[in-house]
Each structure stands twice: as C-alpha cells, then as structure tokens.
C-alpha cells in the first residue's frame, strides 16, 4: 500500500497537467485509511512481532495480540505387556517428503 500510494503520487506529478501535489501527510492519511479498512476484514490469528505492533500503534490502529496457547506436552507411553508400540513421524517441504518410525516393547527396547 505504501509503494502504491507513492507510485500514484509520482505518476500523477509526471503525467497530469492540472495536478495539485499531495503532502507527505496526505499520503500517510491515505495509507492509514486503507490499513484501517483492511483491518475491518482481516482477522489476525497469529501473534505478531513487536515491530508490527509498534507500526500499528503509530498508525493509530487498535491491535491486540491473541493470547498464547499453552504448549502441549507429548511423551511416549509404554504399551501393555506383550504388545509393541509403533511410533511414526513424517515431514514434507515443497516436493520432498520423508517419514520414519520405531517399534518398541514395554521396556523401550527396539
């Protein structure tokens, strides 16, 4: 949005004969207007950086980070006697994927 408003101002100054230049304050007001409009339709679901919060505050936006979720503790559970536990995991990125697993008895032996 910032670059768009600067580009519009530059183009208008170059190509419009009857153009009345905007001040930098006018451009900032336009940018703030669009940010406020976007803020009405965009729901922020992730915690934002301190820098983003500072910029939002400087623009006069009311912004509140969602609360942090408590971490979920995950741990290995011993299978019943005479059974085996199969633990697996996998990951992917772009066109590459990988996976693996381990089988353990109730004592944690493979």
pLDDT in tens, 57-73: 776 666 666 667 777 88
Gap between the Cα atoms of 68 and 71, Å rounded: 9
Percent of the chain predicted with pLDDT > 90:
12
pLDDT at 1 over 80: no
Burial profile 39-74: b = 16 or more Cβ within 10 angstroms, e = fewer:
eeeeeeeeeeeeeeeeebeeeeeeeeeeeeeeeeee
Give the pLDDT confidence score for residue 100 in this predicted structure. Answer: 94
In whole angstroms, what separates CA 88 from the centre of its chain?
29
Which residue is associated with the tokens 């983003």? 52
Higher per-residue confidence, 51 vs 102 = 102
**Secondary element (H or E) of residue 27:** helix 24-41
Q: Which pLDDT belongs to residue 66?
A: 65
């Amino acid at each position: 949005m910032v670059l768009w408003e600067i580009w519009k101002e530059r183009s208008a100054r170059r190509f419009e004969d009857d153009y009345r230049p905007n001040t930098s304050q006018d451009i900032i007001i336009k940018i703030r207007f669009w940010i406020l409009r976007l803020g009405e339709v965009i729901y922020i679901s992730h915690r934002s950086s301190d820098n983003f919060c500072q910029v939002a505050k400087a623009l006069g936006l009311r912004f509140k980070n969602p609360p942090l979720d408590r971490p979920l503790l995950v741990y290995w559970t011993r299978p019943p006697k005479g059974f085996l536990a199969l633990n697996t995991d996998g990951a992917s990125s772009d066109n590459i994927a990988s996976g693996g697993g381990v089988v353990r008895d109730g004592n944690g032996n493979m």
